Amino acid sequence: MADQIIPTHTCEYDVAIIGLGPTGATLGNLLALQGLRVLVLERDKDIFGLPRALHFDGECMRVFQTLGIADALLPNLFVGPGMKFVNAQGRLLIDWQRPTCIGPHGWCASYKFHQPELENALRDRLARQANVDVRLRHEVFALDETAEGIQLRFEDTSCGRFGRATARYVVGCDGARSIARRFMGTELTDLKSHERWVVVDVMLDAPRPDLGDYSIQYCDPARPCTYTRGPGNRRRWEIMVMPDDDPAQLSSSDWLWDKLARWVTPADARLERSALYTFHSVVARGWRRGALLLAGDAAHQTPPFMGQGMAAGIRDASNLAWKLGAVLRGEASESLLDTYESERSPHVREFIETAVQLGAVIQMTHPDLANARDRDMADAIRRFVTPQPQLGPGAWQEDASGTAGHVAPQPRLDDGRLLDDTVGYRFALVALPGVLAACPDLHEPAAQADLVLVESNAAPVRDWLAATGAVAVLLRPDRYVFGVAPDLQAVDGLLARALPRYRMEHA
């Protein structure tokens, strides 16, 4: 990070966000936590009231914990036990177990949810922030660069009135057809997976334990399908469109019930929603141009076979928000914003490429190739483990243990509180007992730099630091490890490299 710069405040807003889906709402809340002036423009009047995204992971739950909504979400979530891939004869091909106990993040590994409930919680939290201006039914049609930032031009479609606003930065969280991406001139890298599927959401009239709690990928070349349990009595099936399907029939109730007949019938369930999707796999080449940035589906799209589409947007928001805050407060130069894409693009690409590989197993429709696949996988069940990729190059420092650039665990501390509740959305130095006493000069500059010092003798902290070979670990606000200090002498230098304000206060 560069030396301190002097921020300017000539724009009406620090950040404008286009789009109030889960990514935009999460980003807005994280920016609000930092006291920034935020404008959110959303073209629709209401939250889409039917299911869309269905899964998020423990890392996302930590973001919701930071926003103060995790406990409100929890009663309406279902903890998913994992996913099984089976062939046409029902033989297990891939076993993806997700532990249902509390894991390293302080939460479970997999949660199933109803998207409108999440969006309502995020919007309610946003509505309580005095520094956030949310405008619904406002459609952006132009983004004009100025000497100070971006002028947004938009239409209030409730009355046809045109308006303008200025913001130092604009983030397009406006989905696959992003207007922000078009104004940036950013193209997409195609990862070569584009298949049509019909997604059907069903509400059961009564519990059906026989359907099971695991998600099932039916790798049947005659008709690949997916079954997923949602919270409560919600269930989802995804049905691959085959070449001889009549496009005019794909949304008809007769066609849908015919395809669902092996599991449910109109006698025990009702159709809540069906939609025809093309599952794309793309990553934008250029997530930032000057004061314009992209997040969520505007920056990347993935097939759903890992349940990581929305989760990737939540990670984008958590990575970007603290960097925007640091730049706008004058604590870092604008070059910090370039680390957003350099870190996140390879990270999200690993998830997308893995989803494409899993999709190749599921979407094999040639019988001979499917038989060859089954023979190749006959000797052993492939046990799949969720990837834990390291960030790409950026605002973190390599270490011998390979800890930096990975998301940190969230242990409970000596007082029983979870680490993130102690830290907030800030940098934190997590240290073994005695480290802070041995470095008394840390305290005053740390306070000036808004760095939280956490010294803990709790077993999970001791075990983690011992495995890392460090006396202290520096965490970023997004919970990724900036770097590690193998000894006391390394602590001060680590903080100075990460936090220019600490370096200046310590000088």
pLDDT digits (tens, 9 = 90+) for 76-91: 999 999 999 999 999 9
Domain presence at residue 379: no
Token pair for 286: 């250029």
Judge if 317 and 184 occupy the same domain. Answer: yes
Token pair for 13: 């807003």
Q: How many domains does the chain divide into? A: 2
Judge if 185 and 297 occupy the same domain. Answer: yes
Domain presence at residue 266: no
Here the CATH number for the domain that contains residue 314 is 3.50.50.60
Judge if 326 and 470 occupy the same domain. Answer: no
Domain presence at residue 408: no
Domain presence at residue 58: yes
pLDDT at 451 over 60: yes
pLDDT digits (tens, 9 = 90+) for 340-375: 999 999 999 999 999 999 999 999 999 999 999 998
pLDDT digits (tens, 9 = 90+) for 89-112: 999 999 999 999 999 999 999 999
Are 322 and 381 in contact by the 8 Å Cβ rule? The answer is no
pLDDT digits (tens, 9 = 90+) for 454-496: 999 999 999 999 999 999 999 999 999 999 999 999 999 899 8
Domain presence at residue 375: no
Judge if 31 and 125 occupy the same domain. Answer: yes
Domain presence at residue 377: no
* 3-class state of residue 306 by DSSP: helix
Length of the chain, in residues:
507
Judge if 42 and 173 occupy the same domain. Answer: yes
Judge if 24 and 116 occupy the same domain. Answer: yes
Element (H, E) at 269: strand 269-279
Would you give the distance in Å from CA 12 to the centre of its chain?
28
Judge if 332 and 438 occupy the same domain. Answer: no
Give the pLDDT of residue 382.
Answer: 85
pLDDT digits (tens, 9 = 90+) for 47-70: 887 778 899 999 999 999 999 999
Domain presence at residue 271: no
Closest CA to 396 of 384, 408, 381: 408
Give the list of residues 6+ apart from residue 34 with CB closer than 8 angstroms, or none. 321, 322, 325, 329, 425
Within a 10 A sphere around the Cβ of 319, how many other Cβ atoms? Answer: 25
pLDDT band at 440 (very low <50, low <70, confident <90, very high): confident
Judge if 150 and 19 occupy the same domain. Answer: yes
Give the list of residues 6+ apart from residue 263 with CB closer than 8 angstroms, or none. 211, 227, 237
pLDDT digits (tens, 9 = 90+) for 136-158: 999 999 999 999 999 999 999 99
Judge if 169 and 51 occupy the same domain. Answer: yes
Range of the domain at 330: 13-74+111-189+281-346
Each as own residue / partner, the long-range contacts of residues 237-245 (CB below 8 Å, 24 or more positions apart, any chain) are: 237/199, 237/200, 237/202, 237/263, 238/197, 238/198, 238/199, 238/200, 238/304, 239/197, 239/198, 239/199, 239/200, 240/195, 240/196, 240/197, 240/363, 240/365, 241/195, 241/196, 241/197, 241/198, 241/276, 242/365
Here the CATH number for the domain that contains residue 497 is 3.40.30
Report the pLDDT averaged over residues 192-207: 92
Domain presence at residue 447: yes
Q: Which of 299, 324, 346 is the last residue in one of the domains?
A: 346
